[in-house]
Chain A
Amino acid sequence: MGNLSFTRRAVLLGGGTAGLIGIAAGTVRGQSVADFKIGVISSLTGPASAYSKDYHEGFVAYVKAWNERGGFLGRKVILQVLDDETNPLNAVNAFRRLASDPAIMMIWTSIGSQTALGIKAIASEFKVPVISGGGIDALGKPADPWFFKMAPGASDFVKGLVEYAQQRGITSIATLNSTDAFGQSEAEALKGLARKANIKLVAAETFGTADTNFIPQLVRINQAKPGFFYNGSNGASSILIFKQIKQLNFNLSMAVSLTAINAAFYKGIGGRENANGVLSIVPLGAVAEQVGGEVARLYAECEKALSKPPLLFHTWGWDTGLVAEHALKRSDGTRPAIRDALDQIRDLPAINGPLTYTPENHIGQDTRGLTLAKLEDGKWAIVR
């Protein structure tokens, strides 16, 4: 009798323990087995957080709306987020960590170009599809099999400028670009496109992002008498260049980089009204309501999910979710299948223009997602 009691107790104990182990194995950090994990690397702190946080909010808003529609085949989509603190080394380490997790089927990033290049270099090592932010063309061309760039490349923005110059019969342009990867990518693209369009590049000046005196460059640009001047600066540089042009009383027909225009810029130049008339090539997400059609519809969805009017980088975050959901629906949810589905995307409607990926070109959006606009009291108005 005593032996039987021992046996029953042992069975109960053993069974209970096995059950607990089973539940623990099936539950990782409070998630159920059915959840679909997407890794996210965002610059939630550090200098890039200015745009990365908006981009990230766009991710979160899309996933929220996605889950409300039932998620991926009934599975809740969850984001596993790591903050790279705008540090390229942290971003690469974060990527390694996320990509090494077999439960993570794709990775989204809202980081800058320099950092994204570091991740592109190792994306194929881990064989996880990455849909990335970042501006420079090199992120998408030449194409890495596993790395996909969202937004138009720097050359696409520059194409828009050259087309504007051609339409208005402008025969000479000048540029001022930073010496970093993004600035030089733009400068090279503009040089090549201007040459093809028979537009003379009369001055190609550069500056360091820590520079505070731009007078030598501006004097040389003014002396070259360009028909049009492209100011590729952002941050403190854009404010100082703007102010120094006014101070020197140079009358330059100027377009600026979209990345220059933010609240700090308006404050730095003494108010939004001082920027009236400034031109830029902007993505459709910045003027979605004026564009109408599918762009406006998707923008309204994004606005509803965000519970506030989306800013430009919110819309790119949203477009990332859109692309991911589209690819997932056409795959079995495994990494190679998602990658193959991404490569098949053709003219997928998105807020910032239709997306196309081919095995040779992993820059998703192009000049169809861009338009010329000018600032009016802090808002972009399409120049028709």
Chain B
Amino acid sequence: MTFSQFALPGLMTGCIYALVALGFVLCANVSGVINFAQGEFVMLGGIVTAVLVSAGFSFGGACLVGVAAGAIIGGLQERLTVAPARNADLFLQATISLGVAIVLRGVALIAFGKDPISMPTFTEGVVTIAGAVLPAQALWVWAFTAFLVAAMFCSLKFTKIGRAVRSCSINPQAARLMGVSLERVTLLVFTVSGAVGALSGILIAPITLALWSSGFDFGLKGFIAALIGGFTSPVVAVIGGLLIGLLEAIAAGYISSGLKDIVVYGTLLAFLLFRGGVFRSRSMTLPRAKQ
């Protein structure tokens, strides 16, 4: 029972890290920008929905508004901060996205206050899986994560828009020559990343509460997962997110709760040293940066 009691909740938070990592990878592949505001979309979706539900809105309507908020803010971020700085240094672009993250946190604090906000679960009660007791909400998190990841992969692989996104990440110049609008694709990717991030927040908020400061941790862990995927492979990024959630929970359970962050960030350090640093076998750059 103990291993599953540690591992399964870890996989639940790992799903959120995976979705955040997916957002990082998509944005980075198309625009070359590491979007440090990705974690804040998780916060935004959760807090907007929680506030609306507390105010008496219908649950479904509040969720739709939460997702829409993430999509709109993602789109606005692209239009107002990414597009104007498209030809700027990558370091500057990343710094701008960090600024967007800080602004979103500040606005959330002012607009929604500093107290955590409860949100009802999609389904009340607990479930028992392999001896572990979990909130029923965990099933929704897993189901939606699987659906979103599958939908993302299928649309990238089989749809015209997906091919356009992939072409922009592989070779933007060639994509332009083929009639693909890089600007529109970037806008689409940021909007979808914002929506996916917001939906992740709506899924996890019933378990973790909605709080103005909750985006930072999700963003950081999602960033680590994306880094593990080299910011190129969505598959590895998703697996990385799940593994980080699992590692965190196992470390807290079997080693020490005080050391869990050391284990996670130690893994990141080891990865950077062996994959892209002192002991690197090949360099790691974002695809767009090579253009």
Contacts and interface: CB of A to CB of B under 8 A. Distances in A.
A215 B114 contact: no
B135 A247 contact: yes
Contact of A207 (B116, B204, B249, B257): B257
B13 A213 contact: yes
Interface in B115-143: 115-116, 118, 126, 133, 135
Interface residues of A, number: 30
A126 to B, nearest CB: 31
Contacts of B2: 219, 223
Contacts of B45: none
A240 B209 contact: yes
A270 B214 CA distance: 21
30 contacts: A47-B114, A179-B258, A205-B257, A210-B213, A210-B214, A210-B216, A212-B204, A212-B208, A212-B209, A212-B214, A212-B217, A213-B9, A215-B6, A215-B249, A215-B253, A216-B249, A216-B257, A216-B260, A217-B252, A217-B257, A219-B253, A220-B253, A220-B257, A236-B208, A239-B116, A247-B126, A249-B133, A263-B115, A267-B118, A270-B118
B212 to A, nearest CB: 9
B118 A219 contact: no
Interface string B258-282: 1011000000000000000000000
A46 interface: yes
B81 interface: no
B133 to A, nearest CB: 5
Interface residues of B, number: 31
Nearest to B125: A247
Interface string A211-238: 0110111011001000000000001100
Across the A-B interface, give the 3 residue pairs with the lowest CB-CB distance, nearest first. A216-B253, A212-B208, A216-B252
B6 A268 contact: no
A15 interface: no
A210 B217 contact: yes
Contacts of A18: none
A240 B118 contact: no
Given A205-B257, A212-B217, A236-B208, 12 more contacts: A46-B114, A49-B114, A208-B261, A212-B13, A213-B249, A215-B5, A215-B9, A216-B249, A239-B209, A249-B133, A267-B118, A268-B116
B76 interface: no
Contacts of B216: 210
B241 interface: no
Contacts of B260: 216
Contacts of B13: 212-213
Contacts of A20: none
Contacts, number: 73
Contacts of A11: none
A216 B6 contact: yes
Interface of B: 2, 5-6, 9-10, 13, 114-116, 118, 126, 133, 135, 204, 207-209, 211, 213-214, 216-217, 248-249, 252-253, 256-258, 260-261
Contacts of A267: 118
Question: In the complex, which of the residues B115, B208, B248 has the most CB atoms of chain A within 10 Å of its own CB atom?
Answer: B115
B257 A219 contact: no
Contacts of B6: 215-216, 219
B257 to A, nearest CB: 5
Contacts of A219: 2, 5-6, 253
A297 to B, nearest CB: 34
B257 A239 contact: no
Question: In the complex, which of the residues A205, A220, A223 has the most CB atoms of chain B within 10 Å of its own CB atom?
Answer: A220
A12 interface: no
Nearest to A206: B258
Contacts of A10: none
A188 to B, nearest CB: 14
A199 B264 CA distance: 34
A50 interface: yes
A206 B249 contact: no
Contacts of A89: none
A263 B207 CA distance: 19
B208 A240 contact: yes
Contacts of B204: 212
Nearest to B255: A216
A207 B208 CA distance: 14
Nearest to B220: A210
A264 B116 contact: yes
A34 interface: no
Contacts of A50: 114-115
B26 to A, nearest CB: 25
A207 B6 CA distance: 15
Nearest to A215: B9
Interface string A236-254: 1001100000011100000
A97 to B, nearest CB: 24
B104 to A, nearest CB: 16
Contacts of B257: 205-207, 216-217, 220
A279 B272 CA distance: 47
A50 B118 CA distance: 18
